[in-house]
Chain A
Amino acid sequence: AQTVTQSQPEMSVQEAETVTLSCTYDTSESNYYLFWYKQPPSRQMILVIRQEAYKQQNATENRFSVNFQKAAKSFSLKISDSQLGDTAMYFCALIMDSNYQLIWGAGTKLIIKP
């Protein structure tokens, strides 16, 4: 069975600092996609970044970047120059090429302090 594990229930950093959120996953399939979603208090689930497993290059999206280690099945999210608006729950998710079901981690609550 596929699983996604986020081992940090909560993190807090000062504004403008860099923070890294951890995610590990397990799947026996070779083709899959990985995602980081952000859910602020408004509860809207917002896509932050995505990574195709067949791509070796780490995805980046402005201040957000990932460290994708396929052999280690690790997919961490780095947020640079953190802003107050980054305060949210962050979920790591996995989807296999063989079906449409997103497998979700438990989430990490990120608090950016002024």
Chain B
Amino acid sequence: SAVISQKPSRDICQRGTSLTIQCQVDSQVTMMFWYRQQPGQSLTLIATANQGSEATYESGFVIDKFPISRPNLTFSTLTVSNMSPEDSSIYLCSVDLTGAKETQYFGPGTRLLVL
């Protein structure tokens, strides 16, 4: 497995502002993923972040709203831009340790409330 940390663990933000969420892994991984979990819902993949290339966004998510950085093999950030109350969710990062699609391990999540 892997030890994955996220910062912040939670935040309350004002409408129109931006928040950057950090994801740190204790080992080098090729593939990192960002998910959104709206209240009472399952997870929705936002984007896949590979080191050295642009993030790949899923339908319904755009780079201007959710810019992602992946500067090295152990770290990634997700920014939620120009926030609205509809962005209130838990945001989770995950990693595929082997690249073999066997298992994704998740960070503890960031709980975001937008007022």
Task: Please provide the chain B residues from 83 to 115 with a CB less than 8 Å away from any CB of chain A in the complex.
Answer: 90, 92, 94, 96, 101-106, 108-109, 111
A interface residues, Cβ below 8 angstroms from B: 33, 35, 37, 42-47, 50, 91, 95-97, 100-102, 104-107
B interface residues, Cβ below 8 angstroms from A: 1, 31, 33, 41-43, 45, 48, 58, 90, 92, 94, 96, 101-106, 108-109, 111
Knowing A44-B108, A44-B109 are in contact, say whether A33-B101 is a contact too (CB < 8 A): yes
Q: Are B106 and A100 in contact (CB under 8 A)?
A: no
Q: What 8 pairs between A and B have smallest CB-CB spacing?
A: A45-B106, A104-B42, A43-B109, A44-B108, A104-B43, A106-B42, A95-B101, A107-B42
Tell me the number of A-to-B contacts counted with CB atoms below 8 Å.
48
Q: Are B111 and A43 in contact (CB under 8 A)?
A: yes
List B contacts of A91 (CB < 8 A). 42-43
Knowing A43-B90, A45-B92, A91-B43 are in contact, say whether A102-B104 is a contact too (CB < 8 A): yes
Q: Are B33 and A100 in contact (CB under 8 A)?
A: yes
Out of A44, A50, A104, which one reaches B106, CB within 8 Å? A44
Assembled-state Cα–Cα distance A102/B94 (Å): 11
Known contacts A37-B106, A43-B108; 8 additional CB pairs below 8 A are: A43-B109, A45-B109, A97-B101, A101-B45, A101-B48, A101-B58, A104-B42, A106-B42
Out of B43, B48, B90, which one reaches A100, CB within 8 Å? B48
Residue of B nearest to A37 (CB): B106
List A contacts of B106 (CB < 8 A). 37, 44-46
